[in-house]
Amino acid sequence: MNTTAQDLTGTYYPAAPGARTLREARDLYIGGKRVSAVVTGRTAAVFIGGEIAFEGQLPADITAGSQVNAWAAETALNTTAKEAATVDAAETITAEAVEYPGSVAAHLATTATTPDEHRAAAAAYASAKQESYDRCDTDGALSQWSHGLNEGKQHLAAQIAENGGMWEFDGLFDLDGNLVPAKEIETRFGYAWLLLDDNGRSTGRFFNESKAKSEERRIAAHAKRGFYVGRVRVPAYAALAGGGVCTVMPIVKRKDGGFSVDAEIVDNGK
């Protein structure tokens, strides 16, 4: 691995903070996902599992591999903390929301498993939102925001439950129709496929889908690179996600973290 000041190209696996000796050092995992950094020259991407936590230039004062590891660990931990704080604000019942309407909604959401139960939870959140507005107008904006988001989340959960807990997502295939180990992730340039190795780890290589308007042109462009974008069906759940107050929204997430060899094939191009 080249670790000169000009070129720190390589793959790094930062250690968890707190180790006092090399013997005590352990790879950093966040939420069960290993943290890594892929550096090409002075351009770096920090991954938490298959998800990008940072993409851009290394800080100018980093001149050695050990500094890359320390910076990558700090970057991953800080990013996770910021995202968790934003989502928790939407999901946590605030001091006002702990009162009767909000607590009923939260209880129903926690215990819901069927479509009707999720819809009942959604209705309870809608009632709690209206009750908050009637009682304190916009002074209860935070609670109303939280209730509204969780109402949408429960409606989405009802749809997933109606599908037997399954949902369709895009999947990446080779031209023989075989599922390719890859996760679709968001980068600063938009969504892209992160190719994985046989152990499910990032290879540092990406496949970007064609932006051609014609479906035929997109398929042809993908085929030239050896891929077909099809569809798979996998277990899923409703969640709140977003990088800030204005962008948090209910979404459907895969339970397998983005890739599974056990995914049900819906369309592999054959």
Tokens 């989405």 sit at which residue?
A: 156
pLDDT of residue 115: 94
Question: Residue 88's pLDDT band (boundaries 50, 70, 90)?
Answer: low
Burial of 1 (0-12, 13-18, 19+ CB in 10 A): exposed
Is the pLDDT confidence value at 178 over 90? yes
Q: Are 185 and 194 in contact (CB under 8 A)?
A: yes
What single string gives the DSSP state of each residue in 84-121?
Answer: HHHHHHHHS--TTTTSHHHHHHHHHHHH--SHHHHHHH
At 98-152, the pLDDT tens digits run 444 556 677 778 888 999 999 999 999 898 888 888 887 777 787 788 888 999 9
Least confident of 90-99, 107-116, 195-204: 90-99
Which residues, 6+ apart, have CB-to-CB distance to 248 below 8 Å?
86, 87, 90, 149, 240, 241, 242
Mean pLDDT of 159-163: 97
DSSP string, 188-252: TTEEEEEEE-TTS-EEEEEEPPP--SSHHHHHHHHHHTTEEEEEEEEEEEEEEE-SSTTT-EEEE
Helix (H, G, I), strand (E, B) or coil at 55: strand
- Residue 245 is predicted with a pLDDT of 64
- Pairwise CA distance, residues 71 & 58, whole Å: 9
pTM over 0.85? The answer is: no
d(CA 124, CA 97): 12
Quote the CA–CA distance of 120 and 112 in Å, as a whole number: 9
Distance CA 245, CA 199 (A): 36
- Please name the amino acid found at residue 235: P
User: For the segment 1-54, what is each residue's pLDDT rounded down to a tens digit?
Assistant: 444 445 788 888 888 876 666 676 788 888 778 888 888 888 888 888 767 778
Q: List the structure tokens of 15.
A: 């250690």
pLDDT category of residue 196 using cuts at 50, 70 and 90: very high
What was the pLDDT predicted at 231? 97
Using an 8 Å Cβ cutoff, are 19 and 26 in contact? yes
Q: Is 63 helix (H, G, I), strand (E, B) or coil?
A: coil
CA 71 – CA 78 distance, rounded (Å): 10
